[in-house]
Chain A
Amino acid sequence: MTELPDLPVLAASAEPDECQLVQALRRGEEPAFAQLVRLHGRQLLATARRLLNNEEDARDCLQEVFLIAFRAIEKFEAKCRLTTWLHRIIVNTALMKLRSRRSRPECSIDDLVPRFTEDGHHLEPPCPWSDHATRSLQAAESHRLLRRAIEQLPESYREVVLLRDIEGLSTEATGQFLAITANAVKIRLHRARQALRTLLDRHLEDLT
């Protein structure tokens, strides 16, 4: 497993109950393992589903995360909460799973960001989105549309959108997970959003 990013600690120290749970896990007590899964599994499964957008992959990911956590519990330091520690593990595991997926046809980012004339004007002026397109984007079907668009992004851009916009991580935390600077996160996110706008534009046009 890659080294986990040093994210901001959410709480100053582990709760007393959490300390007892960690000690029981370290002693290898079976009920403690079940308790950990039931206590944190729901939130982690939701994260895996958001990042992987595939139920089977999300369940595999959750299983992998708990096995990693059970093995690494000796290394868990009470300076952060179990929630924070497990969240780092699931984001890393989901990223690795995303990277190992059979590569799908991706669009080139250069074909999706706006192009300009030499004097800086839009080469292909954008068209306003119709009322119908706007309603589609606000409706339940927008999730499917948007997911399809995100999956068409090149991997390095897709990861930034997933971590920043879908998972809601900070610029700094996203940079740590992806081993890039905060500035690189900002640049990639902006280009990814421009590309998504273009892809949505095309998908919404198909609907009208």
Chain B
Amino acid sequence: MLAVQLSALLDGETPGVTETLDLVTGFDDALTHGLGRLGGDRAAALAALAGAVSASPLGDRAGEAVDKITAGSVAGDHLTALAGARTALLGAVHDALLARLDTALGRTRAAWEAAAAPAPAADHLLAAARSWLHELAITGWRGVDHDLVSASSQTVEALLAEPRLRRVAVLLDGLAAELAACCPIATAPRVPARRWADLWARAVLLAQGLPADPDPEQVSGRLLVLGVDVHEHGTAVQAQVHGLLEPAGGGAARLVRASVSAAKVDTITGPAVWRLLQAHPVLLGALAEHRSLDLTGMPLLASGDLLWHDDRAAAGEPADPFAVARVQLADALAPAVTPLDRHPVRIAEPVLLEGYTVDGEALVLDGHPLAVELDRLPRCGPLTPELVAASTACIGLVRWDAGRWSVQPLAVQATVKRKPVTAHAGDWALGPTDPKVVKAEAKAGDVVAVLRERAGRLLRK
């Protein structure tokens, strides 16, 4: 990313974003206090949200939903319509932001061409999830207590057991854990209103059932890894690898992702999480050893997501992600975004930053400061705020949250004690390489093995 590109990204507002987010904030405030007893101001906020989508296919349903909810009769369909309206507005914000980022970077993005898939069949497990989400909305975050949180427990357990419903299960489990940790919310000093409304609206939509993904294409070629983004809550971990696919038949390199995830418990954290992903040794090996991968017939979704089959990948030559980023990232073709996933939180565009100075929590490129997401340095890898502060080059993901652009480092080149050091988030995918961390891990023992032994002995009695 050049200074001129950064300046194009940062200078001036993106039109409409602030106004749209104000409408979302109004809805989020209503959800904080509960849709079961709306005052005049909050009813007006809902009406404004519905008004913003009135010219869209959602318009009639959203309008009717606000009328009914304001009159005190809240039904499931009304809440779904409002969740849809809020999601549509954030989708528009996402589109404006991503277009701005693509323009600044000069990045070409494929268009979404798949036809809309038919709605899935009804599902009683999803009905249970919807009913809990409706309770939450009527009650409002401020009214949520332990009983309401634990009412989700059986539903989440049943959803988790069903692999095709894993996404909504992981989402609800994460939300319920946060609500439980904050109880009693009535007296909590503050409420993460945007975040919880995001999670709620997302869950309401997922609980309608997901349309089937369009058929993937089968791709072959060389995958050059740029880095790995790690996601984690108490009971889930996901490693999302960003890379460039050089198609075997020639053509432009394509930006792709490979995501592998596992269920876990809160006490499995830090480098131990890699042990939960050991079913993918070729992928983890490429991360740890900085190798390219030769793919044969790997399914690729239109969203740029490879459906990872470790047996369709073979370890290739060593490939330095910084060299890959310097030579090929600027001209790579970016994938389309799945319509349902259009939300600013998923903007995660790989970039290379070089020749900057570090000023506190920002990288400064020719006078333009870009905030660094130091909170997002995963504990399963060697990246630290100190390394970022000492860095001169960085592969990262451009992110946006609450009106601010930032970069999440995936790898840095730094100078420590006058020696060059390179660190990637996935360096420890096959186990820590830092002697101090190895020692600490050895002291704690193999937590995954301990819990598996306990499960083996106690679960099947």
Do A and B come together as binding partners?
no
